[in-house]
Amino acid sequence: MTFIDAILNFAGLLLWVSWRSLSFDPLVKQKPPALVSAVKRTESRFLSRWHFLAALVALLALRGLVYWQIGSAVDWVPSLKLGAISISFRSDVPGRILLFSGLSFVLTLIVFYLWLLLLSLVNGRGADADPVQKMIRLHLGIVDRWPRAVKLLLPGFGSAGIWLAVHPFLAQSGLIEGSSSARHGLEQAALIGLGAYLGWKYLIGAVLLLWLLATYVYLGDHALWNFVLLTGRNLLLPLRWLPLRVGRVDLAPLLEIALVFIAAELVERGLTTIYGRLPI
């Protein structure tokens, strides 16, 4: 069930990206030559864009009902992993499982934009000519133009702010324990904010593995592989001073992947331990 939920989250993400991407279509910004053409084009664009959003809402609602029907039968307890804590939901309660369906996708969407933010940080403005980086810049909007220091702090402060906003509702629903004081709530938010960076490990690992593949196997001159090579080189800059090449084989990507995942595991355990001891 967890695997199916991940696949459906990916399908929902594709619908979201399709909905957002249509707003980047330059034809939308062109002025039509006649009033009748303008009316037809506007109506067509409106329907095509909002059909994706309607399909996304229908997907989340429908899968919630399916989870409710079969979740308890297979003894499935869905949960959301937030770094320091996990929030579990009862699959035999319609309201709870529908809430899980929505929050599971929202968490996927947040991770997606955190990945885009990392790619913006790693490649910076030096990759303006790359078509994949251009699409990332369009999805991030004004955030892509913010200073690197601000973008680096954004996942932590943004996640902490979201936690402070939804914490009262989650506590009232009985999904988590409420905070004993304002200070306690801020400490929880700080740990949740730090946990937001843990999601970057999967993107770093995937990019570096693809970089290894594209480095030693010619896969064509596609824009995606050029982007992977660019991003991989930038991710490997911290280890470039180490003599990690054995013959024609570069061990830097494998070492960096190992370091990133080991560090993420240690940090996650530390955050979980500290969260259980709050308030400090």
pLDDT in tens, 139-176: 888 998 899 999 999 999 999 999 999 999 999 888 88
92 in any annotated domain: no
Domain count of the fold of the chain: 2
Reported as a single tens digit per residue, the pLDDT across 104-116 is 999 999 999 999 9
Judged on CB neighbours under 10 Å (0-12, 13-18, 19+), 258 is: exposed
Same domain, 269 and 209: yes
145 in any annotated domain: yes
Same domain, 32 and 140: no
| HSE, side-chain direction, 13 A CA sphere, residue 154 | 21
Same domain, 204 and 259: yes
Question: pLDDT category, 30, cuts 50, 70, 90?
Answer: very low
62 in any annotated domain: yes
Its domain, for residue 31, covers 1-76
The more confidently predicted of residues 78 and 27 is 78
Nearest to 276 by CA among 198, 268, 181, 261: 268
Nearest to 252 by CA among 221, 215, 197, 219: 215
269 in any annotated domain: yes
